[in-house]
Structure 1
Amino acid sequence: MKINEIIIVEGKDDTVAIKRAVDADTIETNGSAINAETLQRIVHAQQKRGVIVFTDPDYPGRRIRAIIEEHVPQAKHAFLAKEKTIAKNGKGLGIEHARDEDIREALQAVYTPVMHDRPIEITMDDLIDAGLVAHPQAKQRRTTIGNELQIGYTNGKQLQKRLYMFGISKEQFIKAVQALTQEEN
């Protein structure tokens, strides 16, 4: 599988895992120490070939993703569920621990942010009604919804933004919530 865009990863081990799974070029952010020079390389890569942000599903990975989103809002995103990135010995988390098939699947389900002027379809009330905010199991439910929609985990405040950014329709959202509800029952 050949990927035309340049994949943004956190470190060398992630690059090794990506190259093992697919034919692609990478830019490494060197963990959460992403600096202005690296950001400029990412901006340039976006202009030339496009980029896919593929960071670990943990706080540093989400932080890096947010920094890149701020500087390159049109960057594409690939996500892997946390449970697919846990090291075999249970002592580590990251893209470098993912199976090749899982990496390929995530890269086939890349999301492109939608630049639009449409109104927000999914309201905060919808998130509350779905038990994704202000609910005892909200965090777990957001994790499941993020995996189902392949948009990654977000906190309550960011979920609505990410649903909008990736153009998730109200219909897609409702189907995912229904699947979540059936799974829980």
Structure 2
Amino acid sequence: MIKEIIVVEGKDDTVAIKRAVEAETIETGGSAINKDVLKRIRLAQERRGVIVFTDPDHAGERIRKIIAKEVPGCKHAFLTQEAATSRGDIGVENASVEAIREALANVRTDGKRGESAIAWEDLIEAGLIVHPEAASRRLEMGKRLGIGYCNGKQFYNRCRMFQISREEFEAARRHLDEEEGAGS
């Protein structure tokens, strides 16, 4: 049984989580997350810890940001859009048991938003922003680092929030560059 309580968006997500692991969930009821739900998440974080596991789409990111702001110190699990998509629908409920288990095995903790080992210039140099292939490179780097896909600014913020080390960043970049080199 997973000790932490997993925060998901809806009932179908809860069903998918329980199919993959033994865990309890809190459902936000979609992107209209309210004060009562935040209060329950805060209590869960204080007593058992929380893993935020929202859909890899705009609404899921919005919920994740709200929770991270209101309830610091949560863990975060991420699915790729490919792993969460079925017949054009994106959501945790569409992910395979294996994908859910893998995401939960690779949770990231929301650390203190202090100085980061990764600078904005590192993202430019790595071709993650201001580059013709920046979006696809961020997608791959997000997979490798376990922080999901997002725009450049959010990628930088997640590197800070999840305290991605320079070593992790450089290793992921090296693998990405090697893969791209092999594909040419």
Per the alignment, residue 108 of structure 1 pairs with 105
Per the alignment, residue 5 of structure 1 pairs with 4
Cα deviation for residue 184 of structure 1 reads 1.3
Q: Secondary structure at the match of 1:7?
A: strand
1:180 is aligned with what amino acid? L
Alignment TM-score, normalising by the size of structure 2? 0.95
Contact 2:55-2:92 within 8 A present in 1 as well? yes
Per the alignment, residue 147 of structure 1 pairs with 143
Query: Which of 84, 88, 93 does residue 90 from structure 2 map onto?
Result: 93
Cα deviation for residue 114 of structure 1 reads 2.3
2:174 is aligned with what amino acid? Q
Q: Distance in 2 between matches of 1:152 and 1:132?
A: 14
Contact 2:68-2:74 within 8 A present in 1 as well? yes
Does residue 1:131 correspond to 2:131, yes or no? no
Q: Distance in 2 between matches of 1:50 and 1:112?
A: 11
Does residue 1:184 correspond to 2:180, yes or no? yes
Q: How does 1:23-102 map to 2 (within 5 A)?
A: 23-87=22-86, 90-102=87-99
1:80 is aligned with what amino acid? L
Q: Secondary structure at the match of 1:101?
A: helix
Contact 2:116-2:164 within 8 A present in 1 as well? no
Query: Which of 116, 119, 122 does residue 118 from structure 2 map onto?
Result: 122
Identity of aligned residues (%): 55
Q: Distance in 2 between matches of 1:84 and 1:40?
A: 30
Q: Distance in 1 between matches of 2:60 and 2:113?
A: 26
Q: Secondary structure at the match of 2:90?
A: coil
Tell me the number of residue pairs that the alignment of Structure 1 and Structure 2 aligns. Answer: 181
2:108 is aligned with what amino acid? Y
Q: Distance in 2 between matches of 1:155 and 1:35?
A: 26
Does residue 1:162 correspond to 2:161, yes or no? no
Unaligned runs of 5+ in 1: none
Cα deviation for residue 116 of structure 1 reads 6.8
Q: Secondary structure at the match of 1:183?
A: helix
Cα deviation for residue 165 of structure 1 reads 1.5
Q: Distance in 2 between matches of 1:164 and 1:120?
A: 5
Q: Distance in 2 between matches of 1:58 and 1:179?
A: 26
2:166 is aligned with what amino acid? K
